[in-house]
Structure 1
Amino acid sequence: MIRTLYTRLALGLFVLLVAVGLVYSVISLYSLREYNASLNQELNRDLAKKLVQDRNLINEGRLDEAALKELFSLYMAINPSIEIYLLDREGRILSYSADPEKIKRNQVSLAPIQRLLDDMAAYPVLGDDPRSHDRQKVFSVTPIPSADKLEGYLYVVLRGEEYDMAETMARSGHFIEMSAWAVVISLAFGMVAGLAVFRLLTRRLTRLTGLVEQFEHTGMSRQPPQTWQQQRPEVRDEVDYLGVTFDHMAQRIASQIEELQDKDSLRRRLVAQVSHDLRTPLASMQGYVESLRMKRKVLSDAEQERFLDIALEEGRRLGRLVDELFELAALEAREKQPQPEPFAAAELIYDVSHKHVPEAERKNLVLNVSGSLSLPLVYGDLAMTERVLDNLISNAITYSPAGESVELALALEGERLTVRVSDAGPGIPEQDRPHIFEAFYRGDARNTSGHAGLGLAIARRIMEMQGGTISVFNNPVCGATFEIRLPVYQDNDLPPK
């Protein structure tokens, strides 16, 4: 429970409120003391002066000692919170109304006295407390003249011993209790209000956490039943943005896992197909070699030659399959990258077709090439494009019956140059066309004597890597047409040197 965000926020709020309460209490006490001192000094700033005037302490220009003692006695009874001191011109204490046993100083500093006399509105001004070596108190002061000269000062400490005792009792009593209750109630209210606000703020995060848990429980293979964007169609703040981002991430992860599962299924099927296709020529080659070894004495020279030819052909078939497997693996792993350059596609078509003329003549086929040699250059990998054309022309020759023709046509369509290779074979069944470019896929119309198809999978991968496309469709009468498209060369296609 303590690991949840709401609990941590609640604990953080509690600690913060306690700290704020303590700081507030300290500042309030300090401010209250300063305020009381200023108020007390302002209200009694003329107290010392009035005492001198009202009690007739100056008689015939001199200080009346008897009147001063009477003043001490009177104010100790009437207002015990103040203490009255008689100072000489140097600040030495001559007489006082306080308890003699508690007087710690013989002299007070004249600097605060002079500062207050210079500016009676400067509050609070603290002076030395004769009852302490380091404590300072607010005071009222007035000079006492004698025969046209300064005889001393009447120094009145406004917060004397009795005041301190009364203040201490008040703090330890009802005032402290009320202050404590006020702080506790304020903190409790702040805590409840803060928890309510945190609940409102974390409610959406809790819902988002629920969506993440649902997604995790599904094995990340499908999105939660209700997405964040369905709950909150409008993105208003960072939490909504996080929820929408999670939706996109979950959708992408689910699609990637589905794709990985499809890839794994395809990999298993490919492994099984590869095992079969490798085992078939290997078993055939092994069978003929063993037969030749066992029956060499009874077989004629012609039969031995035939056995050797068949074993050699199966070896070549096995070698071609292994080479195609390595080529497809290199293309899928991007170990083999295209090296694009501008070249004349028309010249390449004529060159490749001439290379396949002997193969076509052996099957009594005609290779026809149509298209202008003045077509613009295309931008692609010359060797890879030749590899694709070799595969398409070889397949067209393989599936065309004797006496027919294989058509190669070039055309410019917009910013793409199109090459079509058409055969006169049985065509491709509709159910096979979506899978014709998949590795090892073998349709019903394929010649089962040949090895499983990797050439078309390689051709599609090559065309995708160099920015082209490859497609297939059936001809109206008979046969199928494979079409490749390459981008026309533009001046900005070449990389900077």
Structure 2
Amino acid sequence: MVQQPAGIAWWRSLYLRIGVSFVLLVIAIALIQGLLFTARMQRDARDPRRSPHAVAMEAALAAAAAMERSEPFDLRRMQQARFPDWALMDIVMSDGTVQSTSSGSPLPPAVLDYARQMLSPTPPEERVATAVDRPLVTAPIQVDGQLKGVVLLRFPRRSLISEVARFLSISGLLVLAASTALASWIIFTPARRKLSALEAAAERMREGDLKARAPEDGGDEIALVARAFNRMGDQLVERDETLRTVDLMRRQMLADVSHELKTPLTAMRGFIETLQMPQIAADEERRTRYFATLERETRRLERIVADLLDVARLENNAADFELRVFSTRRLFEQVARRNERVAVDNGVAFDIQVADEADQVYADPHRLEQAVDNLVANALRYTPSGGRVSMRADMAGETVALKVVDTGPGIPAEHIGHVFDRFYKADPSRAATREGSGLGLSIVRAIVERHGGTVGVTSEPGNTEFTLLLPAEGTTEA
């Protein structure tokens, strides 16, 4: 039994419809042919010109009547005039004379022997009767109660094709052809229409129209293929959009990287050209200041390159993580000591708050310290003098929440969704005067996501809060 594809009801299967229609067509043709054959046999039985026994008997009566009148009897003329459908008709007389209507098909010896045995006083021998290898109809010719001869009605030998054609008849062949054409039209026209629509959709997609879709009406195999084709089209559209987005991001990143690298390189080139001037060589103070600027721009360039490599390693899971339990408070204190000089210079105070239940966290301490340090450094850049940067840790359900809060001017609402993008600047004019590679928050997000956590930000004037949510169990992505 043919297994139907998943998703198709068996009564909707195209194969089933074709098979059932074929069986019904065969049954219908057989019934029609049976009715036609029965009608033909009944007509032949009622028409003496068509019944073989009636034909043979009529020919025998005609021959007997001619003998009684002592007139010659011409079998061929009688056959052509009255029974043109019966070409093989013979008369064998008791005196041995033989008349035949067909010179091209002479009377076989076995049939002749059988006829002579019938005219003899004794019954035909069995061996003679069995020697006749074709159907034979006989009728006696009797004159004044005496057997004078016998009429033989032979049936011609036909090939298998001739017999089938004779059985089917012209009307049967017409019915067969009409039924086949009608069944083919009913069965295959809807399927052809659906296949044509599917082919047209595939051709349009081949030409680049990814929105081309095939009609999904129906529940047969063609509809299943159409649905699969449409799903493939939807996936191609999604992949095309993804590729376009990735390509746009790649182009944007290349532009941003080029810009970020160009800025310090341009500055470095300008100062180097200035230092090569003769009038500058004698001014030691200016030379010292220019060399300090060159060193600062060189370090900035190094930071950009290092951060780019760091982001690439983190996002491609190429960076190694060493997970262990460590103290959150100690991590905050180390970040505060590292940034203490900048905080003092900017007039910003640190505040550390750690809940007892959140003091121990299972993660990579060096990577997590890097993330918190980036957030604190970012907060120090934008917190005005007299402000505060707070580092807090507490439990939030099944996660540990690490927060960095500052009292800076805040981030405009339209920029909140982009602060973790590479090289994104909420205020480009002001950001140009700040140190940093523009990749710090991207690194923070990559580190937190590698730990299986999430990072978010809320902001309003005077209060900007970055929150790192880490699983309490401490999982990392492979």
Instruction: Name the TM-score class by shorter chain.
Output: 0.5 to 0.7
Does structure 1 residue 190 correspond to structure 2 residue 180? yes
Residues 247-290 of structure 1: CA distance to partner in whole angstroms, max 9, x if unpaired? Answer: 33323322332232232223222222222211110111122122
Q: In 2, Cα distance between the equivalents of 1:210 and 1:328?
A: 46
Does structure 1 residue 391 correspond to structure 2 residue 364? no
Does structure 1 residue 277 correspond to structure 2 residue 266? no
CA displacement at 1:306 relative to structure 2: 1.4
Q: 2:243 aligns with which of 236, 256, 260?
A: 260
Task: Output aligned runs, 1:105-120, within 5 Å.
Answer: none
**Further displaced range: 338-347 or 388-397:** 338-347
Does structure 1 residue 443 correspond to structure 2 residue 426? yes
Does structure 1 residue 453 correspond to structure 2 residue 438? yes
Q: 1:154 to 1:274 in 2, by over 3 A?
A: closer
Residues 163-201 of structure 1: CA distance to partner in whole angstroms, max 9, x if unpaired? Answer: 697341587868745647545752553244124312223
Name the aligned partner's letter for residue 274 of structure 1: V
Q: 1:258 to 1:76 in 2, by over 3 A?
A: farther
Does structure 1 residue 291 correspond to structure 2 residue 274? yes
Q: 1:376 to 1:170 in 2, by over 3 A?
A: same
CA displacement at 1:383 relative to structure 2: 3.5
Name the aligned partner's letter for residue 440 of structure 2: G
Q: In 2, Cα distance between the equivalents of 1:425 and 1:170?
A: 107
Q: In 1, Cα distance between the equivalents of 2:350 and 2:412?
A: 25
Q: What's the counterpart of residue 472 of structure 1? A: 457
Q: What's the counterpart of residue 49 of structure 1? A: none
Does structure 1 residue 412 correspond to structure 2 residue 428? no
Q: In 2, Cα distance between the equivalents of 1:74 and 1:169?
A: 33
Q: TM-score, normalised on structure 2?
A: 0.62
CA displacement at 1:342 relative to structure 2: 5.4
Name the aligned partner's letter for residue 426 of structure 1: P
CA displacement at 1:363 relative to structure 2: 3.1
Q: What's the counterpart of residue 426 of structure 1? A: 409
Q: 1:482 aligns with which of 436, 455, 466?
A: 466
Does structure 1 residue 244 correspond to structure 2 residue 227? yes
* Contact persistence 1:81–1:158 (CA under 8 A): no
Residues 406-456 of structure 1: CA distance to partner in whole angstroms, max 9, x if unpaired? Answer: 101112111111111112222112222222111111122743123551111
Q: In 2, Cα distance between the equivalents of 1:368 and 1:243?
A: 63
Q: 1:162 to 1:259 in 2, by over 3 A?
A: closer
Does structure 1 residue 157 correspond to structure 2 residue 130? yes
Q: In 1, Cα distance between the equivalents of 2:307 and 2:386?
A: 30
SS in 2 for 1:190: helix
Does structure 1 residue 366 correspond to structure 2 residue 356? no
**Further displaced range: 289-298 or 427-436:** 289-298
SS in 1 for 2:358: coil
Q: What's the counterpart of residue 328 of structure 1? A: 311
Task: Output aligned runs, 1:107-256, within 5 Å.
Answer: 154=127, 156-157=129-130, 159-160=132-133, 166-168=155-157, 176=165, 179=168, 181=170, 182=172, 185-187=175-177, 189-216=179-206, 219-220=209-210, 223-224=211-212, 228=215, 232=217, 236-256=219-239
Residues 189-241 of structure 1: CA distance to partner in whole angstroms, max 9, x if unpaired? Answer: 32441243122234334334444445555642xx35x775xx64xx8444444
Name the aligned partner's letter for residue 130 of structure 2: V
Q: In 2, Cα distance between the equivalents of 1:74 and 1:413?
A: 130
CA displacement at 1:162 relative to structure 2: 7.6
Q: What's the counterpart of residue 351 of structure 1? A: 334
SS in 1 for 2:189: helix
CA displacement at 1:328 relative to structure 2: 2.3
Q: 1:169 to 1:396 in 2, by over 3 A?
A: closer
Q: Which runs of 5+ in 1 are unaligned?
A: 1-8, 25-71, 85-95, 100-151
Name the aligned partner's letter for residue 401 of structure 1: P
* Contact persistence 2:357–2:395 (CA under 8 A): no
CA displacement at 1:482 relative to structure 2: 1.3
* Contact persistence 1:421–1:483 (CA under 8 A): yes
Q: 1:171 to 1:285 in 2, by over 3 A?
A: closer
Q: What's the counterpart of residue 301 of structure 2? A: 318
Q: 1:285 to 1:192 in 2, by over 3 A?
A: same
Residues 77-114 of structure 1: CA distance to partner in whole angstroms, max 9, x if unpaired? Answer: 9xx89959xxxxxxxxxxx9379xxxxxxxxxxxxxxx
Q: What's the counterpart of residue 11 of structure 2? A: none
* Contact persistence 2:303–2:437 (CA under 8 A): no
Name the aligned partner's letter for residue 155 of structure 2: A
Over the aligned positions, Cα root-mean-square deviation in angstroms equals 4.4
Name the aligned partner's letter for residue 306 of structure 2: D
CA displacement at 1:478 relative to structure 2: 1.0
Q: 1:456 to 1:219 in 2, by over 3 A?
A: farther
SS in 2 for 1:467: coil
Q: What's the counterpart of residue 50 of structure 2? A: none
**Further displaced range: 152-161 or 263-272:** 152-161
**Further displaced range: 207-216 or 274-283:** 207-216
Q: What's the counterpart of residue 290 of structure 2? A: 307
Q: What's the counterpart of residue 142 of structure 2? A: none
Matched pairs, number: 361
Q: In 1, Cα distance between the equivalents of 2:95 and 2:393?
A: 128
CA displacement at 1:320 relative to structure 2: 0.8
SS in 1 for 2:403: strand
Q: In 2, Cα distance between the equivalents of 1:76 and 1:258?
A: 102
Q: In 1, Cα distance between the equivalents of 2:205 and 2:271?
A: 58
Q: What's the counterpart of residue 59 of structure 1? A: none
Q: TM-score, normalised on structure 1?
A: 0.60
Q: 1:494 to 1:209 in 2, by over 3 A?
A: same
Q: 1:265 to 1:98 in 2, by over 3 A?
A: same
* Contact persistence 1:399–1:425 (CA under 8 A): yes
Q: In 2, Cα distance between the equivalents of 1:270 and 1:431?
A: 21
Q: Which runs of 5+ in 2 are unaligned?
A: 1-13, 30-92, 99-106, 116-124, 137-152
* Contact persistence 2:280–2:286 (CA under 8 A): no
Q: 1:176 to 1:243 in 2, by over 3 A?
A: closer
CA displacement at 1:377 relative to structure 2: 4.9
SS in 2 for 1:409: strand
SS in 1 for 2:276: helix
Q: In 2, Cα distance between the equivalents of 1:431 and 1:403?
A: 27
